[in-house]
């Protein structure tokens, strides 16, 4: 039996009782490398579980899948991931391979960022498609995510922006030399995210108010019509270390959040939310508790004047 087990969002105690029983009963337990970087160290997990854990690097999917699934038809094997197992195709891949070999599988669910998104105070019903924001480079600024953001905004829906994570990057030099040496992991900070968001906003809807690094060779469609995401008139949130004891949420306008520094947001893991017009008074109230500028922050003013939503008066 192959168990794919979600470890939840924060530390070794976020595993479910069911997951812990499976981990203790398995012959071999693999920990996805990204997971081990993100959460507690492998050693702390081994201590808590009372058994050894093997880091799976996922260097080459086929080779490693073979090893992970070795004898899984005879013994129990567990594969641990941060959050919930089925948020990404990587695990679907492993499950499909197991099933193709006739190996029984069981998925043990846990909280993921999609669940924790509820921590924002924004209603899950009002979220449209999630988007992924990749790390931009000097020569590569892929912005198809912006089209999806616009689609959501057009219908008034909120957008969860998942921020890029680079776990096993090789410098160009090492790659050229075939040296399996890796850069330290990079988890995008909301400060970088908002920088990139404003950059793309400036390219898609150039105006004198938004400074953008406009490269004349850019093959970027300059959109007709006004922007749906005016940084001064669009509400946003950052969600940091959700589900951990140092969880931090900040709300405000895109412009306000873009002025904060990487240190204001702190250590990984982060996500960003762009707030849509279907905003509800209870959402304004709940999410507003963490707004830039407190009671006099732009959050309340923009919610009222731009989104047309009064805050919910409460108890």
Rule CB under 8 A: which residues touch a second copy?
A: 6, 8-9, 11-18, 20-21, 84-87, 89, 92-93, 95-97, 99-100, 107, 109-112, 114-116, 118-119, 121, 123-132, 151, 155, 157, 243, 282, 285-286, 289, 314-315
Q: Is 163 marked within a binding site?
A: yes
Closer CB to a second copy, 112 or 240, in the complex: 112
Min CB(4)–a second copy separation in Å:
11
Measured between alpha carbons, how far is 211 from 202 in angstroms, rounded to an integer?
A: 7
In degrees, rounded to 5, the angle at the alpha carbon of residue 162 between the alpha carbons of residues 160 and 163 is 140
Closer CB to a second copy, 110 or 189, in the complex: 110
In degrees, rounded to 5, the angle at the alpha carbon of residue 281 between the alpha carbons of residues 276 and 287 is 70
Measured between alpha carbons, how far is 226 from 216 in angstroms, rounded to an integer?
A: 21
The b/e string for 116-126 (b: 16+ C-beta within 10 A; e otherwise) is bbebbbbbeeb
Min CB(127)–a second copy separation in Å:
7
Min CB(148)–a second copy separation in Å:
8
In which region does residue 252 sit, left (phi positive, over 0), alpha (psi from -120 to 50) or beta (all else)? left
Residue 296 DSSP label: G
Q: Is 113 marked within a binding site?
A: yes
Min CB(243)–a second copy separation in Å:
5
Closer CB to a second copy, 150 or 182, in the complex: 150
Residue whose C-alpha is closest to residue 253's, from 292, 310, 307: 292
Bond into 30 cis (ω within 30):
no
Min CB(247)–a second copy separation in Å:
9
Closer CB to a second copy, 131 or 258, in the complex: 131
Min CB(21)–a second copy separation in Å:
7
Closer CB to a second copy, 126 or 227, in the complex: 126
Closer CB to a second copy, 190 or 243, in the complex: 243
Min CB(5)–a second copy separation in Å:
11
Measured between alpha carbons, how far is 283 from 297 in angstroms, rounded to an integer?
A: 16
Residue whose C-alpha is closest to residue 128's, from 108, 100, 105, 147: 147
Closer CB to a second copy, 149 or 258, in the complex: 149
Residue 118 DSSP label: G
Q: Judge residue 184's burial from the number of C-beta atoms within 10 Å of its C-beta, 0-12 exposed, 13-18 middle, 19 or more buried.
A: exposed
Please, are residues 29 and 75 in contact by the beta-carbon 8 Å criterion? no
Which residue numbers belong to the known binding site for S-adenosyl-L-methionine? 9, 84, 87, 112-113, 163
């Amino acid at each position: 039996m192959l168990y794919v087990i979600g470890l939840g969002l924060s530390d070794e105690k976020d595993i479910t009782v069911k997951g812990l029983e499976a981990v203790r009963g398995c012959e071999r337990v693999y920990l996805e490398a990204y997971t081990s970087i993100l959460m507690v160290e492998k050693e702390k997990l081994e201590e808590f579980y009372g058994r050894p854990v093997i880091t799976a690097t996922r260097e080459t999917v086929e080779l490693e899948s073979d090893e992970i699934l070795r004898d899984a038809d005879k013994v129990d094997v567990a594969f641990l991931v941060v959050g919930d197992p089925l948020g990404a195709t990587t695990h679907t891949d492993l499950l499909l391979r197991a099933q193709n070999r006739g190996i029984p599988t069981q998925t043990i669910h846990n909280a993921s960022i999609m669940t924790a998104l509820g921590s924002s105070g924004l209603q899950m019903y009002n979220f449209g498609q999630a988007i992924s924001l990749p790390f931009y480079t000097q020569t590569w600024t892929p912005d198809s995510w912006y089209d999806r953001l616009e689609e959501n905004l057009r219908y008034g829906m909120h957008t969860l922006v998942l921020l890029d994570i680079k776990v096993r990057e090789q410098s160009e030099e090492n790659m050229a030399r075939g040296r399996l040496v890796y850069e330290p992991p990079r988890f995008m900070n909301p400060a970088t995210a908002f920088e990139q968001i404003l950059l793309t906003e400036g390219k898609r809807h150039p105006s004198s108010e938004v400074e953008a690094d406009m490269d004349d060779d850019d093959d970027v469609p300059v959109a007709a019509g006004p922007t749906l995401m005016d940084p001064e008139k669009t509400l946003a949130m950052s969600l940091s270390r959700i589900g951990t004891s140092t969880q931090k949420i900040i709300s405000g306008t895109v412009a306000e959040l873009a002025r904060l520094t990487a240190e204001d947001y702190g250590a990984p893991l982060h996500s960003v939310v762009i707030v849509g017009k279907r905003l509800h008074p209870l959402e304004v109230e709940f999410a507003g508790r963490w707004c830039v500028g407190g009671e006099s922050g732009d959050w309340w003013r923009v919610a009222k004047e731009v989104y047309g939503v009064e805050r919910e008066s409460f108890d």
